[in-house]
Structures are given as structure tokens and as C-alpha cells.
Amino acid sequence: MANTETTLKECLASIEGATGVALVDYTSGMALGTLGGSKSFDLNVAAAGNTDVVRAKMRTMEHLGLKGQIEDILITLSDQFHLIRLIGGRGGNGLFMYLVLDAKRANLAMARHQLKRIEEDLEV
């Protein structure tokens, strides 16, 4: 089992092209931990904004009567991928991992696979 700090470090170290990562509480919009980012890319602002994305998708699923669980949400920009992975089990309800990837260096399929593996070891 890994704590928040170890999990964030593992994301940046082991996922090719990762430039920033955050663990976010989507009930409050607060980042519980961040690593990476830059002066021009504030992970706390991104975490709060992506909370709205998660909430909107959940509301839409509820209105449509969809019973499935959200695994992840992908946002593609011209030079970045933003991957939102909802945390399941072991107290992860209400949390998501937010991963920013450099589109030129990242392998999206591998990033999703690795983020899932890392998230499963997270102990909140």
C-alpha cells in the first residue's frame, strides 16, 4: 500500500511523458496532493476545474440512467493529454487522480494502464 506522496512520485517517475499529477477530492474540489506542473500550469487550479468535469459527467450519467462506473475521463489538447481516473475501493470514494501528459512523449494506452496499477496500490 502506498501513501499519497509515494503515489504521486511514482506517477511522475514511471509514466512516460507525465508532467504533473494530483490527487483530488471532487466533493470539495481541493487537491490533497500535487507534484509537477509549472509556473504557467497550476495543478491546484486544474484540480478544481476538473472537479466540475467529474461532477458534470456524474450528473449526466444519473439523468440518463446509466448504471456503469466511470473508470477514466480523457481530455486531449493539441500538445497534452489530461487523464482523470476515479479512485475505487479502500476509502477512495470521492477522489480522483489527475494526470497531465506531454502528448509528444506519452503513450496513452500505457499511461492508462500504469495509472490504474498505481491507483490500485493507493491507501488513502
Inter-residue contact 86 to 71 (CB < 8 Å): yes
pLDDT of 108: 95
Return d(Cα 20, Cα 3) in angstroms, integer: 17
Q: What are phi and psi of 44, to 5 degrees?
A: -70, -40
Domain positions in the chain: 4-120
| The model scores a pTM over 0.85 | yes
Q: How many CB atoms lie within 10 A of CB 84?
A: 24
pLDDT of 89: 61
pLDDT tens digits along 81-123? 999 999 976 555 799 999 999 999 999 999 999 999 999 888 8
**Consecutive H or E run containing 93:** none
pLDDT recorded at residue 93: 79
The secondary structure element, H or E, covering residue 23 is: strand 18-25
List, in sequence order, every residue forming a beta bridge with 101; answer none if it has no partner.
Answer: 18, 81
Cα 81 from Cα 88, distance rounded (Å): 22
Give residue-wise pLDDT tens across range 41-97.
Answer: 999 999 999 999 999 999 999 999 999 889 999 999 999 999 999 997 655 579 999
Using only C-alpha atoms, what is the Rg of the chain?
Answer: 14
**Inter-axis angle of helices 108-120 and 4-14, to 10 degrees?**
160
C-alpha 12/C-alpha 26 separation (Å) is 22
Report residue 39's pLDDT band, with 50, 70 and 90 as the boundaries.
confident
For residue 102, the one-letter residue type is D
CATH code for the structural domain at 4-120? 3.30.450.30
